[in-house]
Amino acid sequence: MEDGITGDFALIKAWKADRAGNLIFRKTARNFNPAMCRAAKTTIAEVEEILDIGEIDPESVHVPSIYVHRVIKGEKFEKRIEKLTLLREEGTVHSNSPAEKLRERIIRRAACEFRNEMYANLGIGIPMLASNFVPKDMILHLQSENGVLGLGPFPMEGQQDPDLINAGKETVTIVPGAAFFSSDDSFAMIRGGHIDLTILGAMQVSQYGDLANYMIPGKMVKGMGGAMDLVASHSAGTKVVVTMEHTAKGGTHKILPSCTLPLTGKNCVDMIITDMCVFDVSAEEGLCMVEIAEGVTVEDVVNSTACSFKVSPELKPMQQSQV
């Protein structure tokens, strides 16, 4: 058993503090900050405003003063937006090139997995774009690991807020009924099996549902993010769907007998959606192709897949959201 890591210092950015050291965070800026305060021997918080004791309602305190040792108000409190992401046209994805059309095929098929009142976590890239194709009469609760339930569409220009981002650091909005919380609460939702569906990308998937999606040896990575927790929730009942192009550049296989890259999770994938087909995945029996894209033959899929698979006797055309 590994010992827990205790940091000597936690350097925190918060919205407000009082002179006792109680902290308030704004929107998704809470993320891992409360956990970092609790784990460190000394917490130093930079805030936008310092209030007198008693000016913060005790019910509004996110981090109590016992965890905070120093508070400063910086001369220039900067809020940078790393990934300004704006809504161009409501409900549209621009698909001009052949590559973009193939991506939209994956996105529209992924959107067919949504069900009314479902709680879902969507990875950055193709998975997140599937939210553009949610039917207007469907209620979908989108959760993000950085501490928000009730994600809305990307903001229109001028509506972006640096304190309101998703786990991929993209600017977002929220819908009525949304909630903000810390990342440790977020991962309690995930590992507890409270998320019905997670859709994420992959670099490789094995025929029995092993997933590799967070690093390529020799290339710099920031870490696996929440992917390991998301796929670990498979055992608690969360459906794990992978969306990806069927092959990598140069035709290199991505669906393999076994992954050659470091694993994110083992026997954790339930479905693979590519630009060519849809596979159901069984940890015992392997892959079964249940849908095939227009203009694609079974032979095409065989040639683009490095492992064996079954073909469903009820093979259907690939579904596409019509939103």
Active site residues: 145
Q: Are the CB atoms for 49 and 73 separated by under 8 Å?
A: yes
The contacts of residue 235 (CB under 8 Å, 6+ apart) are 268
The tokens describing 177, both together, are 């009924």
Report the alpha-carbon distance of residue 154 to residue 162 in Å, rounded: 13
- Smallest Cα–Cα separation from 215: which of 159, 282, 161, 262? 262
Where are the alpha helices (H) located in 112-226, listed in sequence order? 126-129, 183-191
State how beta strands 40-51 and 70-73 pair: parallel
- Smallest Cα–Cα separation from 50: which of 26, 81, 19, 4? 19
- Smallest Cα–Cα separation from 109: which of 140, 143, 144, 133? 133
Residue tagged 């005790």 (tokens): 58
Q: Are the CB atoms for 141 and 119 separated by under 8 Å?
A: yes
Report the alpha-carbon distance of residue 241 to residue 205 in Å, rounded: 11
Report the alpha-carbon distance of residue 146 to residue 167 in Å, rounded: 5
Q: H or E segment at 299?
A: helix 298-304
Report the alpha-carbon distance of residue 287 to residue 242 in Å, rounded: 13
